């Protein structure tokens, strides 16, 4: 690549730092964009610049938006009594795609991790505890990932919230899931939580 123009090399280096792309796929993506300059490359440059300048974290819940309050916190359609706690904005989007939950969110910004020295203060846990008191929340739904760190965080938060109902997402067989392809832990959890038909 010694003979690609400097800007082009910089662009490939930057693209290669995105998750899911490496040097080879970054080169491919850049050449593809150059072929679709007006339809893809210029709009992408503009939109990237706009998002970099305008998008910020909601002061209340940590979701992304363009104002101090995100669209969900600001919406009169969302009920106030239920708070759904997620690790990251991508999890909030996943919950929204499911489309069932009508309350508000609280994005922690990660999980507790002794290894990485991430304690409650590094996350939005103190703010969560304040919100539960201030917003007269009746139920906190912990929608954290079913990983070790996620479950540790869930237990820590549940311990801090004694005056309010704390629930978590059910664990079991995914819709369309085949038992043969599921791990033992999931099958055990689904068996323990079996329901009367």
Closest distance between a second copy and the C-beta of residue 5, in Å? 5
Please count the other Cβ atoms lying within 10 Å of the Cβ belonging to residue 89. Answer: 18
Q: Which residue lies nearer to a second copy by CB, 33 or 189?
A: 33
User: Does 30 contact a second copy by CB under 8 A?
Assistant: yes
User: Does 70 contact a second copy by CB under 8 A?
Assistant: yes
Q: Which residue lies nearer to a second copy by CB, 18 or 146?
A: 18
C-alpha 96/C-alpha 70 separation (Å) is 14
Span 73-132, contacts to a second copy by CB under 8 A: 88-90, 92-93, 96-97
DSSP 128: H
Q: Please identify, among the stretches 41-49, 117-125, 148-156, 164-172, the one whose residues bind a second copy according to the rule CB under 8 A.
A: 41-49
Closest distance between a second copy and the C-beta of residue 137, in Å? 20
Beta strand 82-86 pairing with 104-107: parallel
Closest distance between a second copy and the C-beta of residue 162, in Å? 31
User: Does 69 contact a second copy by CB under 8 A?
Assistant: no
Phi-psi region of 195 (alpha: psi -120 to 50; beta: other; left: phi over 0): beta
Residue count, binding to a second copy (CB under 8 A): 55
Contact 35/28 with Cβ under 8 angstroms? no
φ, ψ of residue 18 to 5 degrees: the values are -70, 145
Contact 145/166 with Cβ under 8 angstroms? no
Q: Residue 123, Cα to own-chain centre: how many angstroms?
A: 13
C-alpha 12/C-alpha 4 separation (Å) is 10
Q: Please identify, among the stretches 42-50, 135-143, 148-156, 177-185, the one whose residues bind a second copy according to the rule CB under 8 A.
A: 42-50
Residues in contact with a second copy by the rule CB under 8 A: 1-5, 7-8, 10-11, 14-15, 17-21, 25, 27-34, 37, 40-52, 54-55, 63-66, 70-72, 88-90, 92-93, 96-97
């Amino acid at each position: 690549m010694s003979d690609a123009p400097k800007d082009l090399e910089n662009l490939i280096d930057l693209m290669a730092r995105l998750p899911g792309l490496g040097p080879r796929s970054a080169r491919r993506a850049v050449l593809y964009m150059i072929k679709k300059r007006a339809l893809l490359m210029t709009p992408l440059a503009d939109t990237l610049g706009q998002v970099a300048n305008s998008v910020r974290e909601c002061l209340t819940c940590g979701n992304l938006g363009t104002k101090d309050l995100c669209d969900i916190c600001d919406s009169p359609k969302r009920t106030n009594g239920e708070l759904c706690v997620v690790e990251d904005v991508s999890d909030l989007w996943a919950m929204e795609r499911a489309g069932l939950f009508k309350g508000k969110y609280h994005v922690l910004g990660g999980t507790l991790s002794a290894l990485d020295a991430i304690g409650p203060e590094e996350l939005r846990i103190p703010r969560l505890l304040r919100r539960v008191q201030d917003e007269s929340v009746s139920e906190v739904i912990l929608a954290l990932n079913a990983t070790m760190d996620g479950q540790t965080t869930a237990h820590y938060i549940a311990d801090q919230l004694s005056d309010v109902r704390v629930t978590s997402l059910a664990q079991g067989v995914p819709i369309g899931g085949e038992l043969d392809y599921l791990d033992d832990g999931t099958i055990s959890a689904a068996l323990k939580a079996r329901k009367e038909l």
